[in-house]
């Protein structure tokens, strides 16, 4: 039940900080943030039946289905904030460069409240640009500086960066990178540029990232179930969902530890370092052969001219499922400013050449349908919009 809302400007963060601080001190109801139709921020207050210490209700991204309203408690957020400070070797000032209604954005504000520092909000009314990010980063005054980004944002910042952009990136003591897998090429480029990047893995159900560079944060436990799914447990796990508190298939307790069952596959090495292999539903069965979408994506992203790729299975009368790929070409390869997968256009012609290369390298695993565009389709929080891209690939493949 919504207890009322307040609409503010996209960079007016004071009302949000005040509401979150009140909830953290048990002096106000849980906060739920959302985006208005014109980019304004809507600050709502929500009831959380059965959970008296809720601070925030965060909607999952909805990249693979309907968003869920995840309840984050005082204890979980405090544990996450403390563990993050330990992992980053200090607290400091944060730059908010992600939509605040998603968990990564909320966490920038919560960590700032626990640290007693004032976050700076990047103006994204004109979208995410290196110029806007640089201008915002120059406003930070604390000696210790942090921000959270998604791979697409970092990719834009490192594509022929200006000296000023490179300088502000190097001033950050840590840049948390999450929301989607980061390619090896992007991480190599960051290291070569002297940018301190920390890859993160987690979700709204774990107060955001709870595994940094493959290592669980303090108070976080990681297991891999018999079916290969990653289980995340410990102090940062959410209280559940507002509309499905009995979701025991997702949340469960064992020996006093609360666990969240992800939909991701992974492995743990002898030192307990986690490697995420991809989503459990990313296995494509084509012609009776099981294909890892993550593996195909990795191969595609190593091709010249491919900035990013998304791979999925689409219905096929011949194969049962056909491997299909939505690829983002870099500026030199695409020669286009809009979606263009058709032959006769620069992007489409380059996609034809790539399909021939992939057939030689992957054989049956190669994508049979390829849609080329300047960028992947993204959700407001910077995650790939899987459902939208699958719809486009389905329409292009036409069930063949």
199, pLDDT greater than 60: yes
Q: Are residues 243 and 351 in the same domain?
A: no
* Cα angle: 219, vertex 78, 210; to 5 degrees: 45
SS3 94: strand
d(CA 315, CA 291): 14
Answer with the one of 249, 276, 303 that is the final residue of a domain: 276
DSSP-derived secondary structure for 302-324: TSTTEEEEEEEEEEETTTEEEEE
pLDDT interval class at 383 (50, 70, 90)? confident
**Confidence grade of residue 336 (pLDDT, cut at 50, 70, 90):** very low
pLDDT of amino acid 63: 53
Residues contacting residue 137 through CB under 8 Å, at least 6 positions apart: 95, 145, 147, 168, 169, 171, 172
CA distance from start to end of the chain: 46
Q: Pick the range with the lowest mean pLDDT from 6-10, 20-24, 162-166, 344-348.
A: 344-348
Between 38 and 320, name the one with better pLDDT: 320
pLDDT of 338 reads 38
Q: Is residue 152 a part of any domain in this protein?
A: yes
Q: What is the CATH number of the domain that holds 116?
A: 3.40.50.12780
**219 and 341 fall within a common domain:** no
Which are the contacts of 337, defined by CB distance < 8 A and separation ≥ 6? 374
The structural domain count of the chain equals 2
* Domain assignment of residue 83, yes or no: yes
Distance CA 219, CA 314 (A): 40
Residue with tokens 């030192």: 271
Residue 386 lies in a domain: yes
Res 332 pLDDT > 70? no
What Cα–Cα distance (Å) separates residue 205 from each residue in 67, 93, 236, 251, 277?
Answer: 12, 25, 8, 9, 19
Q: Taking Cα atoms as reference points, which of 185, 158, 183 lies closest to residue 170?
A: 158
Does pLDDT of 196 surpass 60? Answer: yes
Q: Is the predicted pLDDT of residue 45 greater than 90, yes or no?
A: no
The residue from 231, 247, 276 where one domain ends is 276
Give the pLDDT score at 62: 57
**CA geometry: angle 145, 148, 152, nearest 5 deg:** 130
Contact 348, 333 (CB under 8 A): no
| pTM of this structure | 0.80
Strands 257-268, 145-149: pairing kind: unpaired
Q: Is residue 282 part of a domain?
A: no
Average pLDDT over residues 50-79: 84
| Residue of 62 and 199 predicted with greater confidence | 199
Contact assessment for residue 24 and residue 38, using Cβ atoms and an 8 Å cutoff: no
Spatial separation of the C-alpha atoms in residues 363 and 60, rounded to whole Å: 37
- At 315-330, the pLDDT tens digits run 988 888 899 999 998 8
pLDDT tens, 113-136? Answer: 999 999 999 988 888 999 999 999
Mean pLDDT of the 219-228 span = 95
Top-ranked range on mean pLDDT: pick from 41-50, 170-179, 322-331: 170-179
pLDDT reported for residue 10? 72
Average pLDDT over residues 45-70: 80
238 within some domain: yes
The DSSP call for residue 242 is: T
Compute the distance between CA of residue 166 and CA of residue 159 in angstroms, rounded to an integer: 10
Looking at the structure, do residues 170 and 24 belong to the same domain, yes or no?
Answer: yes
Rounded distance between C-alpha atoms, residue 14 and residue 20, angstroms: 10
Which domain-ending residue is among 255, 276, 297?
Answer: 276
Q: What is the pLDDT of residue 86?
A: 97
Higher pLDDT pick, 337 / 34:
34
Rounded mean pLDDT, 100-109? 93
Residue 8 lies in a domain: yes
Indicate whether 329 and 231 sit together in one domain. no
Q: What is the mean pLDDT of the chain?
A: 88
Instruction: Specify whether 259 is located in the same domain as 296.
Output: no
Answer yes or no: is 281 within a domain: no
Residues 239 and 345 in one domain: no
Same domain membership, residue 150 and residue 89: yes
The answer to which of 62-76, 168-182, 371-385 has the lowest mean pLDDT is 62-76
What is the rounded CA–CA span in Å between residue 393 and residue 378? Answer: 15
245 and 158 inside one domain = yes
- Per the structure, the complete domain to which residue 370 belongs is given by 287-397
Collapsing DSSP states into helix, strand and coil, what is residue 351? Answer: helix
Decide if 320 is inside a domain. Answer: yes
| Co-location of 271 and 378 in the same domain | no
Q: What is the pLDDT of residues 1-22, one digit of tens each?
A: 455 567 777 778 899 999 999 9
Q: Which residue is associated with the tokens 């408690």?
A: 73
Q: Are 297 and 242 part of one and the same domain?
A: no
Rounded to an integer, what distance in angstroms lies between the CA atom of residue 32 and that of residue 47? 10
Is there a single domain that holds both residue 227 and residue 304?
A: no
Q: Are residues 124 and 198 in the same domain?
A: yes
Confidence check: pLDDT of 244 > 80 = no
Instruction: Tell me the mean pLDDT in the region 180-195.
Output: 91
DSSP string of 199-234? EEEEEGGGTEEEEETTEEPTTEEEEE-TTSEEEEEE
Looking at residue 1, its pLDDT comes to: 47
What are the pLDDT digits (tens) for 261-311? 999 999 999 999 999 988 887 888 887 778 888 889 989 998 888 989 999
**64 vs 82, residue with greater confidence:** 82
């Amino acid at each position: 039940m919504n207890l009322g809302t307040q609409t503010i400007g996209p960079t007016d963060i004071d009302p949000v900080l005040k509401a979150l601080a009140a909830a953290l001190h048990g002096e106000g109801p849980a906060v739920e943030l959302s985006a208005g139709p014109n980019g304004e921020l809507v600050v709502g207050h929500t009831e959380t039946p059965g959970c008296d210490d809720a601070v925030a209700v965060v909607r999952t991204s909805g990249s693979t289905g309907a968003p869920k309203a995840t309840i984050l408690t005082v204890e979980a957020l405090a544990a996450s904030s403390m563990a993050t400070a330990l992992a980053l070797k200090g607290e400091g000032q944060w730059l908010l460069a992600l939509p605040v209604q998603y968990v990564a954005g909320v966490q920038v504000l919560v960590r700032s409240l626990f640290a007693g520092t004032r976050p700076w909000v990047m103006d994204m009314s004109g979208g995410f640009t290196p110029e806007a990010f640089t201008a915002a980063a120059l406003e930070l005054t604390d000696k210790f500086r942090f921000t959270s980004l998604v791979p697409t944002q970092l990719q834009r910042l490192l594509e022929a960066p200006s000296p000023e952009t490179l300088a502000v990136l190097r001033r950050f003591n840590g840049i948390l990178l999450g929301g989607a897998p980061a390619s090896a090429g992007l991480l190599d480029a960051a290291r070569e540029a002297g940018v301190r990047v920390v890859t993160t893995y987690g979700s709204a159900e774990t107060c955001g990232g709870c595994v940094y560079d493959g290592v669980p944060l303090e108070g976080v436990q990681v297991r891999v179930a018999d079916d290969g799914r990653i289980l995340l447990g410990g102090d940062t796990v959410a209280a559940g969902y507002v509309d499905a508190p009995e979701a025991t298939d997702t949340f469960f307790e064992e020996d006093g530890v609360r666990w969240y069952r992800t939909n991701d596959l992974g492995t743990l090495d002898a030192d307990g370092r986690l490697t995420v292999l991809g989503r459990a539903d990313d296995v494509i069965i084509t012609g009776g052969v099981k294909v890892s979408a993550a593996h195909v994506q990795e191969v595609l992203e190593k091709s010249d001219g491919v900035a990013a790729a998304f791979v999925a299975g689409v219905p096929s009368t011949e194969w049962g499922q056909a491997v299909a790929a939505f690829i983002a070409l870099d500026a030199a390869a695409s020669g286009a400013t809009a979606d263009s997968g058709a032959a006769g256009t620069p992007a489409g012609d380059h996609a034809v050449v790539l399909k021939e290369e992939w057939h030689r390298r992957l054989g049956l695993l190669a994508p049979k349908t390829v849609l080329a565009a300047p960028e992947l389709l993204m959700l407001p929080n910077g995650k790939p919009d899987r459902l939208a891209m699958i719809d486009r690939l389905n329409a292009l493949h036409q069930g063949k």
